[in-house]
Structure 1
Amino acid sequence: MQLALRDNNQGPYFSRVLEYGRAEERLTDEHVTQIKSKAILMSLKLADKFYNKHKMHLLEHAAHDVIGVVSIGLIALTGEEPVASVALLQTPDGVLKCFQKGWSMLTTVSKHMHGSDNSLYGGINQLLLEKISTPPDTEEWLGWQDYQTALKDHQNQEATKVLLETFYAKVELDPLFSLGLESVLAEAVLYRIMFDDARVREDMKKRLRKIELDEKWFSVDTITLHTERALSHLPDALAQTIREDLGKHFYKELLRTLKFAKKYRELALDDASPEKLERYEQKHGMQGVLLGWQDTIEF
């Protein structure tokens, strides 16, 4: 297994740590040989399981996988601190621990990724592993950044699931709707404002003209208060994560939506034609956006 780098500041973290260990005389040639031997053995096992260990190009592919996965685990276990990383790799099961950690991390973030259920690598998304996997002498390794992106998406999916379970009457969304975490929260807050903290249902258009819209609702401060009330029903850590992730226009956009609902209600009560109501929806970009604003539900 070749683990040499052309640039000590580039390439997979695993390879960079070995180069650092050599340069700082923290790793002897014997140490490096032992670490490489363990990585080679893992590559053989990986190739035997997912590829073909008797074909050299597939064995090399498995070796690149091991380098990438170990790099991910090594960063996670040591905080990308070179001295601690070298020390961990020197332990008898250091390389294995790093690989197991990295593999577990990739399995977790692959949970919601499209195509993971049919992946060659069990529960790990194939495209994600291909990004993590890399030759040791590559000029730039972005595996950790790719993992962080996947982790962020996974966390958003998990948070969205909790929001649905907490605030929605129907947890499973129509696959035609691809709403993000912020949008799912906005739906819940808007619905709770108008319908006395009720769970979100697909009946907003049907119920709208049967209620009175309180003028006190139409302020950023009131919307912020209702948002905080909703977040108070969530675990503290999740609520704080969502607060930090909200866009700077979140509350203003909810206010805009409430104003749209008010005008739409006035038009509906004035017996506006379906065509006029539809034009008003389209003008404000609201048609088909809100879960409770289904085109198929009429007044």
Structure 2
Amino acid sequence: MQVVLRDNDQGPFLSKVLAYGQAEALLDEAQLAQIKAKAVLMSLKLADKFYNKYKMHLLEHAAFDVIGVASLGLMALSERDLNRALTLLMTPDGIVKSFQKGWSMLSTVSKYKISGKSVYGDIDNILLDRVSSPSDADEWMGWQAYQEALLDFNRQESVACLLKQFYSQASYDPLDCLGLESVFAEVVLYRMFFGPVKIKQDLKQRLAHIELQDSWFTVEHFELQVKNTLAELPTDLAETISVDLGKYFSPGLLRTLTFAKSYREQLLKGVSPERLERLEYKEGLSGLLGWPIYIVM
């Protein structure tokens, strides 16, 4: 594997660190040769496992994978500090540890990825392809790709945690495409209506049997409900949800509550499920934050 040394801030982090070591006379030719040799061996092993080491273009692909994944891990382990990164690379297994770290990071955020069966086992094909890079690339977007995948993973993991903690049926299927904001909104509404009980698909039926308090119909009331619900969650989960909530979250819940009042009035009149469904669609389900979407039979 040819590791080209360039001082390019936009290129892969591994190349940037090696170029820095050479420029500052902190990395001699023998040390650089050791790192290269280890990287070549890693590329051969990766090609043997996932590609075909006897086809040169696939071996080159494996080398790009090693550069990208090692860059990712090296950035994380060194907190993007060039001196710390170089010190790590100069240890006997520095590049191996960097690659292992990067691979672990990609494996974690690939948990909910849906892009077909991956040839890389537990790592998403598309994500690894975005991280993979030649050493002399003018632009490397691997870190940004990982951050995007991490954000999506945190959201989906948060949805799974909310389902587990608050819902009677806690199974989570990524194919359901549940939004974190909408799931949390349903939690806030349901618990405001019925107290600290497990959430079931019965809100629409039970709505007729509760009294909607006038004090609920304010943005300030919903902000308090949001604060109280977040307080029940682990700190990391609460922070993830807080970041995801838009400034119109509480006003959106107030709008949904106003609709719930109209829906309840129709329930009390004994209108048919078909008319209730038409009422929902007329209002626009996508605009009813936290309103459960299921069919009342």
| TM-score, scaled to structure 2 | 0.92
Q: Distance in 2 between matches of 1:167 and 1:196?
A: 11
Determine if the alignment matches structure 1 residue 21 to structure 2 residue 21: yes
Q: CA deviation at 1:223?
A: 1.3
Q: Distance in 1 between matches of 2:3 and 2:235?
A: 44
Q: Distance in 2 between matches of 1:101 and 1:174?
A: 27
SS in 2 for 1:128: helix
Q: Deviation per CA, 1:151-209, whole angstroms, max 9, x where unpaired?
A: 11111122111111111111125777422111111011101111123222111221112
Q: CA deviation at 1:275?
A: 5.6
Partner of 1:61 in structure 2? Answer: 61
The alignment covers a number of residue pairs equal to 296
Partner of 2:143 in structure 1? Answer: 144
- Letter matched to residue 68 of structure 1: G
Please show how residues 130-141 of structure 1 align to structure 2 within 5 Å.
Answer: 130-141=129-140
Q: CA deviation at 1:236?
A: 2.3
Name the Cα RMSD after superposition.
Answer: 2.1
> Percent same amino acid at aligned positions?
54
Q: Deviation per CA, 1:252-289, whole angstroms, max 9, x where unpaired?
A: 11111001100121233334565653443223212797
Q: Distance in 2 between matches of 1:281 and 1:189?
A: 20
Alpha carbons of structure 1 residues 48 and 274: separation in structure 2 relative to 1, 3 Å: closer
Please show how residues 42-61 of structure 1 align to structure 2 within 5 Å.
Answer: 42-61=42-61
Higher deviation after alignment, 221-230 or 134-143: 221-230
Please show how residues 253-264 of structure 1 align to structure 2 within 5 Å.
Answer: 253-264=252-263
Q: CA deviation at 1:240?
A: 2.7
Q: Distance in 2 between matches of 1:175 and 1:53?
A: 35
- Letter matched to residue 180 of structure 1: G
Higher deviation after alignment, 74-83 or 243-252: 243-252
Partner of 1:267 in structure 2? Answer: 266
Partner of 1:215 in structure 2? Answer: 214
Alpha carbons of structure 1 residues 259 and 157: separation in structure 2 relative to 1, 3 Å: same
5+ unaligned residues in a row in structure 1: which ranges? none
Q: Distance in 1 between matches of 2:293 and 2:84?
A: 55
Query: 1:168–1:199: 8 Å Cα contact kept in structure 2?
Result: yes
Moved over 6 A (4+): none
Q: CA deviation at 1:25?
A: 1.4
5+ unaligned residues in a row in structure 2: which ranges? none
- Letter matched to residue 259 of structure 1: T
SS in 1 for 2:285: coil
SS in 2 for 1:25: coil
Partner of 1:153 in structure 2? Answer: 152
Q: CA deviation at 1:237?
A: 2.7
Please show how residues 22-37 of structure 1 align to structure 2 within 5 Å.
Answer: 22-37=22-37
Query: 1:13–1:75: 8 Å Cα contact kept in structure 2?
Result: yes
- Letter matched to residue 4 of structure 1: V
Query: 2:256–2:291: 8 Å Cα contact kept in structure 1?
Result: no
SS in 1 for 2:32: helix
Query: 1:12–1:141: 8 Å Cα contact kept in structure 2?
Result: yes
Query: 1:191–1:199: 8 Å Cα contact kept in structure 2?
Result: no
